[in-house]
Amino acid sequence: MSDARSPSRVIPARETRTEIMVVNSRFIATLAPVFEVEAARAFIARVRAEFHDASHNVPVFVIGHGSSVIAHCSDDGEPSGTAGRPALAVLQGSGIGDVAVVVTRYFGGTKLGTGGLVRAYGAAVRAVLEITPRAVKTSTVTVMLALPYSYFERVRLLVATHQGLVLDETFAADVTLTARFVAKHLANFELALRDLSHGTLEVVVIERDEAAIMPLDGM
């Protein structure tokens, strides 16, 4: 299995939106994770319906990774090659896959010219990419662990050290902690846990997911 941090595996963690102004024209970039063409088309239709009064709603998407990639763009009425292609070029250069963006333009009364449009649509996509949190789609294991309060902070730190994500904490006589790990990191966590607790603490696997979305901040 390739490294989960490989750029070819990076996807958006959630939908994001931002806006830039270029010579009085508003460019609103909306980005979302999509895993199939039908989902991309549904997202594009939703944004177009939301901004139905806009001058243009320029869609681009990239679905898949490696040798199996579907890419699409449209100028949506802008001069040919001035909107969809530059937006798609920025998206493809970002290293993010399974992603769709719609750049909505409200014309501000001043024509931008061919070069101005190319720069504006590219800049709008770059702006929304800058605020988009990253995730990976990867094989994960969710585990549960009961532990004394005396181990709680040290085990939480151990989870973070092994790029795990704490999902739940229940406080009773003991602490019950639920965490999710990229599958390949679990064995090292279990070894470290046994060393920390002198073999008294063990995890129970409660779920395996071959295509889970893990935020990179939690890895």
Where would I find the beta strands (DSSP E) of the chain? 10-12, 16-22, 25-33, 56-65, 68-73, 99-106, 134-147, 165-171, 175-182, 204-215
Question: What is the pLDDT tens value at each position of the chain, 219 positions in all?
Answer: 334 334 337 899 999 999 999 999 999 999 999 999 999 999 999 999 999 999 999 999 999 876 789 999 999 999 999 999 999 999 999 989 999 999 999 999 989 999 999 999 999 999 999 999 999 888 899 999 999 999 999 999 999 999 899 999 999 999 999 999 989 999 999 999 999 999 999 999 999 988 777 777 644
Residue 217: per-residue pLDDT? 61
* Structural domain harbouring 26: 7-132
Please give the tally of structural domains in the chain.
2
Q: Tell which residue, 163, 151, 152, has the closest CA to residue 189.
A: 163
On whether both 145 and 114 belong to a single domain, the answer is no
Residue 126: per-residue pLDDT? 98
Side chain identity at 127, as an amino acid letter?
A: A
3-class DSSP assignment, residue 172 = coil
Which helix or strand (DSSP H or E) is residue 1 part of?
A: none
The residue written with tokens 């997202």 in the block is 43
On whether both 45 and 112 belong to a single domain, the answer is yes
* 151 in a structural domain: yes
In the numeric block, which tokens belong to residue 70?
């579907």
Residue 3: per-residue pLDDT? 40
Tell me how far CA of residue 158 lies from CA of 30, 152, 181, 204, 217, in angstroms: 37, 10, 12, 16, 15
Ordered alpha helix ranges (H), the chain: 37-50, 84-93, 113-130, 152-161, 186-197
On whether both 105 and 154 belong to a single domain, the answer is no
On whether both 43 and 123 belong to a single domain, the answer is yes
On whether both 193 and 120 belong to a single domain, the answer is no
Cα(159)–Cα(166) distance, rounded to whole angstroms? 7
On whether both 63 and 80 belong to a single domain, the answer is yes
* 2 in a structural domain: no
Length of the chain measured in residues: 219
Which of 81, 107, 132 is the last residue before a domain boundary? 132
> CATH number of the domain that 178 lies in?
3.30.70.240
Q: How buried is 206 (Cβ within 10 angstroms: 0-12 exposed, 13-18 middle, 19+ buried)?
A: exposed
Cα(203)–Cα(48) distance, rounded to whole angstroms? 48
Side chain identity at 161, as an amino acid letter?
A: T
Residue 8: per-residue pLDDT? 37
Residue 9: per-residue pLDDT? 72
